[in-house]
Amino acid sequence: MPYIRTCQARSKYHIYARELQASAKVFTQWDKYKYLKGAKGDYIAVREDDLSDVYTIEKSVFLRSYERCE
């Protein structure tokens, strides 16, 4: 997993995230019939405590809401 980074929401939850290099569609755990779109530059994320919870985050929202943790 050298291509993803661990990030921490400014709250108590941790995620793994990576910037999208191309647009993508992600089917979420909470609605298997609809999908979220992510544009190039947005982020794809998964919760550290639930690897089945995958979603996209708009770049501007991600940069305001998360900070990198080591």
In this structure, the dihedral spanned by the alpha carbons of residues 59, 36, 30 and 10, taken in order and rounded to 10 degrees, is 0
Residue 38, helix vs strand vs coil: strand
Residues in the chain: 70
Find the angle CA(27)-CA(29)-CA(35) to the nearest 5 degrees: 25
Q: Please tell me whether residue 62 adopts helix, strand or coil conformation.
A: helix
Q: Which of 64, 16, 56, 53 is nearest to 40 (CA)?
A: 56
pLDDT in tens, 2-26: 677 776 655 567 889 999 999 999 9
Q: What is the pTM of this model?
A: 0.77
* β-bridge mates for residue 15, sequence order: 7, 47
- pLDDT at 43 > cutoff 90: yes
